[in-house]
Structure 1
């Protein structure tokens, strides 16, 4: 009887030992390091790089990325532009919209990982859409943006030295904005990464707009009716 009990006990101990050895192969730390990061939210999801224009300076939008498994040395990108990480709190990454950023994707990749160009896909990569808005950072000081679409014409009334904000739709091809006005106008045009080009005190300017993006711009006129043709 004692031999039977001894055999049973030995078998239980031996089985337990094999079980421990089997489970040790699945190291949770190794699994964590090899699994991809997860981006659950980005706040805000609309922002701007730093703007230093002729009459205003705006800092880059601060962005908080929440998620998990970011690792100890993650890389944040706005499309292909790397952004500096100001704080890594484990489940939160703090950063700012970098110079040259444009609408597309914000991504996090772990050390040794990579994201495909202009994509949220890749090895050890996660991300979501992000939108660059050059006007929102001003708290829309000139009122709501007026949209002008490709092939459209608008007639716009301006009061005494008044500025209005506009944006195009996404242009299928390069176009010229043709402005006809009863007064000289000043036009500020933003690139997709919010760099401003000013056309100061122009008579009926013709301004080139690039293909594939929605362009934001301001027009300042003095007590005039202006026609816009795109």
Structure 2
């Protein structure tokens, strides 16, 4: 009789212990749904939105995001601009740089999650830096970009009808680009989303540049020496 009672008691204790262990273990599916996504790579990390400028058209750069735990219905943003997912392979997401994008962050958030505006952090969010470059998509057809720093003046020689590519540094305040040239010049200035404004056959133009960004621009001249001051 004692042996029977002991066996029953042991079974009850063991059964309760097993039940507690099982109920305290984490549900793998729930963990997968609530854990944040992980980005291992973004290729390329430099690209351009679609460019539709006079005499030039370039498609938006295709970007591949590799990682894990993206969820069933992930959301991709370039800063606060929503991007379309063209292909979802589970561990790879394909998208294109959307119009209006500028340098900052690319992020992936899961359904029910969100990324804080213009950051790479948030709830169920992962992100990394992404850079917009308006010139690299041309395979640098006008040669290396020449950097012009604020407060700096440079002299550039043109041989025949020639176009050169330039980039300012990131301006601490709005400034004017002043061009002095022996010939009329044509200038193409890109905003931070790669949309261009053209100044055609201008004599010694003065062009405003915005604060807080590095501005890319082209200057075309005819057999002349031109001075640039920013």
User: TM-score, with normalisation over the residues of structure 2?
Assistant: 0.94
Structure 1 residue 91 displacement after superposition: 1.1
Instruction: Name the counterpart of 2:79.
Output: 79
Q: Distance in 1 between matches of 2:88 and 2:184?
A: 51
Q: Mapping of 1:44-55 within 5 angstroms?
A: 44-55=44-55
> Are residue 103 (structure 1) and residue 96 (structure 2) matched?
no
> Are residue 22 (structure 1) and residue 24 (structure 2) matched?
yes
Q: Mapping of 1:1-230 within 5 angstroms?
A: 3=4, 8=10, 11-23=13-25, 26-230=26-230
Q: Secondary structure at the match of 2:143?
A: coil
Q: Distance in 2 between matches of 1:77 and 1:45?
A: 14
Structure 1 residue 22 displacement after superposition: 3.2
After superposing the two structures, state which structure 1 stretch, 5-14 or 28-37, moved more: 5-14
Q: Distance in 2 between matches of 1:92 and 1:174?
A: 40
Q: Secondary structure at the match of 1:197?
A: strand
After superposing the two structures, state which structure 1 stretch, 5-14 or 182-191, moved more: 5-14
Specify every segment of 5 or more residues in structure 2 that has no aligned partner in the other structure, as ranges: none
RMSD of aligned Cα (Å)? 1.5
Structure 1 residue 16 displacement after superposition: 3.0
Structure 1 residue 114 displacement after superposition: 1.2
Q: Distance in 2 between matches of 1:59 and 1:29?
A: 39
Give a deviation string over 1:72-97, Cα, whole Å, max 9, x none: 11111111111101111111111000
Aligned residue pair count? 228
User: TM-score, with normalisation over the residues of structure 1?
Assistant: 0.94
Q: Distance in 2 between matches of 1:112 and 1:18?
A: 30
Q: Distance in 2 between matches of 1:148 and 1:210?
A: 14
Structure 1 residue 128 displacement after superposition: 0.5
Q: Secondary structure at the match of 1:73?
A: coil
Q: Distance in 2 between matches of 1:45 and 1:21?
A: 44
Q: Distance in 2 between matches of 1:8 and 1:113?
A: 47
Q: Secondary structure at the match of 1:21?
A: helix
Q: Distance in 2 between matches of 1:162 and 1:15?
A: 83
Structure 1 residue 54 displacement after superposition: 1.2
